[in-house]
Amino acid sequence: MADTPRTATLTLDGKTYELPIHSPTVGPDVIDIRKLYAQAGVFTYDPGFTSTAACDSTITYIDGDIGELLYRGYPIEQLADKSHYLEVCYLLLYGELPTPEEAEKFETLVTRHTMVHEQMHMFFRGFRRDAHPMATMVGVVGAMSAFYHDSTDITDEYQREVASIRMIAKLPTIAAMAYKYSIGQPFVYPRNDLDYASNFLRMCFSVPAEEYEVDPILSRAMDRIFTLHADHEQNASTSTVRLAGSSGANPFACVAAGIACLWGPAHGGANQACLEMLREIGTVDRIPEFIARAKDKDDPFRLMGFGHRVYKNFDPRAKVMKESADEVLGLLGIENNETLKVAKELERIALEDPYFIDKKLYPNVDFYSGIILDAMGFPTSMFTPIFAMSRTVGWIAQWKEMIADPQLKIGRPRQLYMGDTARDYIDVEKR
Ligand code: ACO
């Protein structure tokens, strides 16, 4: 964060206060109000954090007006096209693209940590079969701190590193186990000779009774989905991870908190909700009815996969996702899939509708991801777990950045209290 001598002046009750302004490397300036309460005795009010920067970070940058997403400065389109997920993980965690030697070392390390403690199998069996895989994941990832307590001391840099690698390596195994458990099939152990995405597909779709060949196009599409979801600066789940971590909680507990937050339909749960919506629409002729409902103030229905707090233009991830959808459905010979047709037509109609134009509502990453995952054979209940495992690296990179910051403070927002003022307790017989 490069400081400049510029300040903003606040006048309050006849007094003026000078508030420092910080200029980022790119993006809007930030007014520093850290000393405001001490100096002026007032708080700022910003529910939903629409105008508040809660930290400084060097990891991910979004320009929502032009639809730009950069990981460590690299545009997401270039990474989705030329890189692969584990390289992106390295970039997010360590700030630079790896040399060939660094990449080999990192990938070997991750690959060697993909198995989970055997006793975790028993832990899984405590869940009901019909539990949502996200419910299972929140529980199992939280329980990692019970299985791997040799990497929960957050003051030890080495342990932080070990915990980070463990989570990146084991989350696919845990997500696949959650899926297998929910459908009553045996868990499939990871295979170290496969790349990250192929290994995940195999753990989800192979059964001991048959050989399973991973299609390289599907594996590439899976890897792209991981890359597109890897980080997204200070969104709700990442802020949850940071807030949990600011108290000194262990990284497994923090990531479990992030998974819990991601589950909501306004956040990561939107990919499941979006495909369900597209299926409910069913055919192109029913689109106008749903567009009308989305615009009706008295109807809580919203177009899932549309709109974003930060993007007021195309979500760049949605563009890549749309290309991938065409590629995957083409490969599988289902390019005439009715859901894809509905999605494309819905997008076209919404983008020409003044309601969506005026409110700058564009398709987000979740609009097409569900169609691809569905075509690959995943049930809707697995969409958000896949998002969670992809985002784990982002949560960890942000958590590590925060823990290494000497200025770390516990996160503790203030409030605008509108409740009763102090009053005396009334004995029960007098109420
Ligand atoms: N359909 C219809 N109207 C919408 C939609 C939508 N999908 N999204 C926003 N609007 C309208 C709101 O009704 C509101 O209208 P108003 O100003 O007349 O009251 C206006 O657009 C602004 O919406 P807010 O909810 O205030 O915007 P916010 O930034 O808080 O919400 C959000 C962003 C939660 C993503 C919202 O657009 C939404 O609910 N989208 C659908 C769910 C979704 O796709 N979520 C995934 C987000 S991406 C991700 O997490 C990976």
Instruction: Tell me if 294 CB under 6 Å of ligand 1.
Output: yes
Amino acid 332: pLDDT: 87
| Ramachandran sector of residue 414 (left: φ over 0; alpha: ψ -120 to 50; beta: rest) | beta
Q: How far is the CA of 359 from the centre of ligand 1 (A)?
A: 9
C-beta of residue 31 within 8 angstroms of C-beta of residue 19: yes
Residues 6+ apart with CB under 8 A from 190: 114, 115, 172, 173, 199, 203
Task: Determine whether the shortest distance from the Cβ of 360 to ligand 1 is under 6 A.
Answer: no
> Does ligand 1 have an atom closer than 6 angstroms to the CB of 365?
yes
Please say whether the dihedral angle defined by the alpha carbons of residues 344, 347, 351 and 352, taken in this order, is positive or negative. positive
Residue 390 alpha carbon to ligand 1 centre in Å:
23
- Ligand 1 centre from 165 Cα, in Å? 35
CA–CA gap between residue 56 and residue 64 (Å, rounded): 18
Instruction: Among 315, 359, 373, 395, say which to mutate for ligand 1: greatest number of ligand atoms within 8 Å of CB.
Output: 359
Would you name the residues annotated as active-site residues?
308, 366
Does residue 303 have its Cβ closer than 6 Å to ligand 1? yes
Please tell me the distance between residue 320's alpha carbon and the centre of ligand 1 in angstroms.
Answer: 21
Of 361, 365, 368, 383, the one to substitute when testing ligand 1's pocket (max ligand atoms within 8 A of C-beta) is 361
From ligand 1's centre to the CA of 275, what distance in Å? 17
Q: How far apart are CA 106 and CA 312, in angstroms?
A: 36
Residue 251 CB–ligand 1 contact under 6 Å: no
The response to whether residue 312 sits with its C-beta less than 6 Å from ligand 1 reads no
Instruction: Tell me the whole-structure pTM to 2 decimals.
Output: 0.92
Q: Is the CB of 308 under 6 A from ligand 1?
A: yes
Sequence-ordered strand ranges (E) for 72-196: 74-75
Name which of 227, 129, 113, 213 is nearest 171 in CA terms.
113
Structure tokens at 414: 């203030």
Q: Give the strands of the sheet with 15-23, arranged side by side.
A: 2-12, 15-23, 30-31
3-state secondary structure of 365: coil
Q: Does ligand 1 come within 6 angstroms of the Cβ of 277? A: no
Ligand 1 center–CA 363 separation, angstroms: 11
Q: Report the pLDDT value the prediction gives residue 340, as an integer from 0 to 100.
A: 85
Is there an atom of ligand 1 within 6 Å of 305 CB? yes
Phi, psi of 396 (to 5 degrees): -70, -45
Chain centroid, CA 48 distance in Å:
17
Q: How far apart are CA 103 and CA 97, in angstroms?
A: 8
In sequence order, which residues have a C-beta less than 8 Å from that of residue 42 and are 6 or more positions away?
Answer: 12, 36
Residue 128: how many other CB atoms lie within 10 Å: 10
What separation in Å is there between the alpha carbon of 240 and the centre of ligand 1?
20
pLDDT in tens, the chain (431 residues): 555 579 999 999 999 999 999 999 999 999 999 999 999 999 999 999 999 999 999 999 999 999 999 999 999 999 999 999 999 999 999 999 999 999 999 999 999 999 999 999 999 999 999 999 999 999 999 999 999 998 899 999 999 999 999 999 999 999 999 999 999 999 999 999 999 999 999 999 999 999 899 999 899 999 999 999 999 999 999 999 999 999 999 999 999 999 999 999 888 888 888 999 999 999 999 999 999 999 999 999 999 999 998 999 989 999 999 899 888 988 888 877 888 899 989 999 999 999 999 999 999 988 889 889 998 999 999 999 999 999 999 999 999 999 999 989 999 999 999 999 999 999 999 99
Atom of ligand 1 nearest to the CA of 302: 1
Q: Could you tell which of 233, 262, 308 is best to mutate to test the pocket of ligand 1, judged by most ligand atoms within 8 Å of the CB?
A: 308
Instruction: Please give the pLDDT value at position 4.
Output: 54
Q: Could you tell me the two tokens for 361?
A: 């509502």
Q: Atom 50 (ligand 1): residue with closest C-alpha?
A: 267
- Collapsing DSSP states into helix, strand and coil, what is residue 20? strand
